[in-house]
């Protein structure tokens, strides 16, 4: 497998089996990131195939452009959030496609980016935005939200059981000095989190708080349903939708979306005959969800929480 600068695409063999790209097929990688999945897809879609890669992160687009340069005009890259998929894809010549992939996780490059502090160890500004030209940085939320609002954010988007306790610590410590780096926030959370007896866990106590902030500043849960709907509209009959998620909130959205599209009808239960006229658009493919193998988790520990859901586009 071709690996660039330590980037390992997650569940790549499972993704390839699900998408099943063939020469001449049109594919979309809606979160192109380091280009690992895209590279494998292009290898299988050549000759004649094309791939559209989207990413809100300017640095990710630059990396993907370098990595996929050998495929020339077969690759179209756009710096865009996947919520813009319905507009960006047709404008780029991808009105109908055979597969759409969403990998909703952070890349190793983003975790190593000191200037946006996705990592607990980052000494750079607490930003966490994929696209730094839009929205507000995480530091602004930490500085401006009151204790109740912070606790609600940590609980809703991070499912943090100690949300109120951590929020109280954040509001107290920010009075002493602004919390402006990933390392400082991680320390505040670690100090506030209750210490559990026994063997230390490999999960950092600030994991859920960092997840919550990243989701909030990038509106991740808000834009995902819109992007999934756009992807289904672009798929040809029998085209595949593949989504890799890394926490229960994202996975729940994908699961419910596929279930709703499998059902089709949205009429209330008390209506005896369907009047909405909405036909099913998707059918699940394979086990739901698929998980990485033990071998992959050992090789790439960041893959351990990955969940892959696959669905097939039904004929209109």
Q: What is the CATH number of domain 110-218?
A: 1.10.150.170
Order of strands across the sheet with 307-313?
Answer: 75-79, 50-55, 26-29, 97-103, 235-245, 307-313, 282-284
Per-residue pLDDT of 43-89, as tens digits, reads 999 999 999 999 988 889 999 999 999 999 999 999 999 999 999 99
* Better pLDDT: 56 or 150: 150
**Do 282 and 258 touch, CB atoms closer than 8 A?**
yes
Indicate the pLDDT class of residue 267, thresholds 50, 70 and 90: confident
Per-residue pLDDT, 198: 60
Q: What is the mean pLDDT of the chain?
A: 89
Summarize pLDDT for 160-217 with one digit per residue, the tens.
999 999 999 999 999 999 998 888 999 999 999 887 766 556 677 888 999 999 999 9
Contact residues for 239 (Cβ-Cβ < 8 A; gap 6+): 97, 98, 99, 100, 312, 313
Under 8 Å CB-to-CB from 121, ≥6 apart: which residues?
A: 182, 183, 186
Helix/strand/coil for 223 = helix
- Residue 125 pLDDT > 80, yes or no? yes
**How far, in Å, CA of 137 to CA of 45, rounded?**
39
pLDDT at position 14 over 90: yes
Give dist(CA 230, CA 221) in Å, integer. 15
**What is the average per-residue pLDDT within 7-20?**
92
**265/74: higher pLDDT:** 74
Q: How confident is the model at residue 301 (pLDDT cuts 50, 70, 90)?
A: confident
CA 247 to chain centre: 10
For the cut 80, the answer to whether the pLDDT of residue 260 exceeds it is yes
The backbone torsions φ and ψ at residue 264, rounded to the nearest 5 degrees and listed phi first, read: 80, -80
Q: How many CB atoms lie within 10 A of CB 167?
A: 24
Taking residue 224's Cβ as centre, other Cβ atoms within 10 Å add up to 22
The label of the residue with tokens 């490999």 reads 202
Distances (CA, A) of 255 to 96, 143, 216, 220, 260: 24, 35, 21, 16, 9
- Residue 2: is its pLDDT beyond 70? no
How far is residue 220's CA from residue 73's CA, in Å, rounded to a whole number?
A: 30
Q: What is the pLDDT of residues 269-288, one digit of tens each?
A: 787 888 777 889 999 999 99
Give the Cα separation of 151 and 147 in Å (integer): 6
Closest CA to 117 of 192, 61, 183: 183
Residue 195: per-residue pLDDT? 77
d(CA 193, CA 188): 9
pLDDT of residue 113 exceeding 70? no
Pairing mode, strands 75-79 and 50-55: parallel
Q: Any idea which fold 12-107+220-313 has?
A: Rossmann fold (3.40.50)
Nearest to 116 by CA among 132, 92, 98, 100: 132
- Return the domain boundaries, the chain: 12-107+220-313, 110-218
pLDDT at 16 over 90: yes
Confidence of residue 120 (pLDDT cuts 50, 70, 90): low
pLDDT score of 5:
44
């Amino acid at each position: 497998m071709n690996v660039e600068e330590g980037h390992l695409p997650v569940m790549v063999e499972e993704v390839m089996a699900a998408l099943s790209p063939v020469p001449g097929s049109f594919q979309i990688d809606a979160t192109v990131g380091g280009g690992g999945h895209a590279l494998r897809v292009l290898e299988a879609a050549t000759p004649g195939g094309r791939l559209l890669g989207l990413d809100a992160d300017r640095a990710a687009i630059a990396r993907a452009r370098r990595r996929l340069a050998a495929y020339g005009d077969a690759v179209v890259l756009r710096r865009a959030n996947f919520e813009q998929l319905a507009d960006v894809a047709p404008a780029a010549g991808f009105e109908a496609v055979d597969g759409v992939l969403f990998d909703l996780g952070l890349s190793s490059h983003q975790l190593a980016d000191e200037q946006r502090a996705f990592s607990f160890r980052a000494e750079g500004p607490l930003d966490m935005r994929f696209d730094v030209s839009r929205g507000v940085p995480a530091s602004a939320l930490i500085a401006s939200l009151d204790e109740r609002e912070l606790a609600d954010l940590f609980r809703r988007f991070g499912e943090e059981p100690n949300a109120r306790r951590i929020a109280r610590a954040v509001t107290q410590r920010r009075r002493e000095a602004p919390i402006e780096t990933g390392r400082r926030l991680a320390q505040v959370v670690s100090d506030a989190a209750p210490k559990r007896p026994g063997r230390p866990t490999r999960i950092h106590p600030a994991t859920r708080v960092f997840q919550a902030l990243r989701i909030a500043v990038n509106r991740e849960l808000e834009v995902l349903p819109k992007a999934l709907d756009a992807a289904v509209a672009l798929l040809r009959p029998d085209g595949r939708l593949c989504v890799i998620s890394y926490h229960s909130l994202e996975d729940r959205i994908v699961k419910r979306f596929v279930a709703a599209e499998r059902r089709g009808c949205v009429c209330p239960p008390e209506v005896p005959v369907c009047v909405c006229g909405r036909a099913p658009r998707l059918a699940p493919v394979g086990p739901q969800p698929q998980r990485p193998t033990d071998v992959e988790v050992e090789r790439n520990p960041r893959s351990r929480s990955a969940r892959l859901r696959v669905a097939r586009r039904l004929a209109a």
